[in-house]
Amino acid sequence: MSNKLFISVDSPMVNQIMNTDERIKSLITHIGDIEFPLRENFYESLIRSINGQLLSVKVADIIHFRLVNLLGAQDVTPNSVAQLSNDALREIGISERKVSYIRDLTDKILREELILEELSQKEDQEVLDILTSIKGIGEWTAEMFLLFSLGRKDVLALKDIGLQRGAKWLYQLESNQAGLEKLKEKSEHWKPYRTIPSIYLWEVVTRNYIHDYENISELTGT
């Protein structure tokens, strides 16, 4: 497995997505190629997603930065996190409920009830089933793992607020709920490469297009 996910606008996969409608085509064409590193530390990736539940990306990043600093020279591993007290975790901004989720995940790995390295060999649905059976890991967290750790090509996290906001802006809809319905509608057309529109719709939010531009036409100047 490559340690990066690279999306080229010249690839057949991207062309298939662009052919589904003009708005997603305009967005992808404007942004161009995208590359980002995959999270190779599977445990850290899950901890990061658990801590990021119901938080903005900025706040989640701050909490993760604090965790890394708290561990000092140690990597974020089950053994290193197991040595931290609950109070220490709460003091860096992790809620009591999420601390319990982290403890449960950590214990399962240390007892070898869950072997994260084996997940890369499994099909998407099997990975989702295994992860969502763990306390505190819901569908969204498992989908983030599929995409940002395993680099799977067909991930569309319908419950993700960022994706809903991106769809709302791109398709000029009235609400995030309408954005969700649009994602459901487009989902079948985007298979089996739903990761591609997911990444570009997140970029709409990350690059602040939703605030800086009224619509895709204003963004692209067309």
Q: In the predicted model, what is the mean pLDDT of residues 119-147?
A: 95
Model pLDDT, residue 142: 96
Task: Provide the 10 A C-beta neighbour count for residue 221.
Answer: 6
Residue 157 Rama label (left phi>0; alpha psi -120 to 50; beta): beta
Say if residue 92's pLDDT is above 70: yes
Q: In the predicted model, what is the mean pLDDT of residues 69-95?
A: 96
* 205: helix, strand or coil: helix
Alpha helices in 35-160 (DSSP H): 42-52, 57-71, 78-82, 86-91, 96-110, 124-132, 139-148
pTM: predicted TM-score of the whole model, two decimal places: 0.91
Residue 93, token pair as written in the block: 């901004």
Helix count (H) and strand count (E) of the chain?
14, 2
Residue 201, token pair as written in the block: 């719709």
pLDDT digits (tens, 9 = 90+) for 150-204: 999 999 999 999 999 999 999 999 999 999 999 999 999 999 999 999 999 999 9
Is residue 199 located within the same domain as residue 159?
yes
Residues in the chain, overall count: 222
Model pLDDT, residue 54: 81
Model pLDDT, residue 222: 84
Model pLDDT, residue 198: 98
Model pLDDT, residue 123: 97
Band of the pLDDT at 52, cuts 50, 70, 90?
confident
Residue 86 sits in a domain whose CATH number is 1.10.340.30
Q: In the predicted model, what is the mean pLDDT of residues 58-76?
A: 94
Return the higher-pLDDT residue of 26 and 58. Answer: 26
Say if residue 2's pLDDT is above 80: no
Residue 144, token pair as written in the block: 């983030």
- Pick the last residue of a domain from 148, 182, 206: 148
Model pLDDT, residue 217: 96
As a whole number, the mean pLDDT across the chain is 95
Q: What's the domain count of the chain?
A: 2
Is residue 167 located within the same domain as residue 132?
no
Task: Answer for the pair 165, 205: CB distance below 8 angstroms, yes or no.
Answer: yes
**Which segments of 74-132 are extended strands (E)?**
none
Percent of the chain with pLDDT over 90: 93
Band of the pLDDT at 56, cuts 50, 70, 90?
confident
- Residue 207's H or E segment, with its range, is none
- Pick the last residue of a domain from 148, 164, 199: 148
Residue 124, token pair as written in the block: 């998407």
Model pLDDT, residue 55: 83
Residue 26, token pair as written in the block: 């305009």
Domain range for 116: 42-148
Distance separating alpha carbons of residues 197 and 173, to the nearest angstrom: 17
Residue 197 sits in a domain whose CATH number is 1.10.1670.40
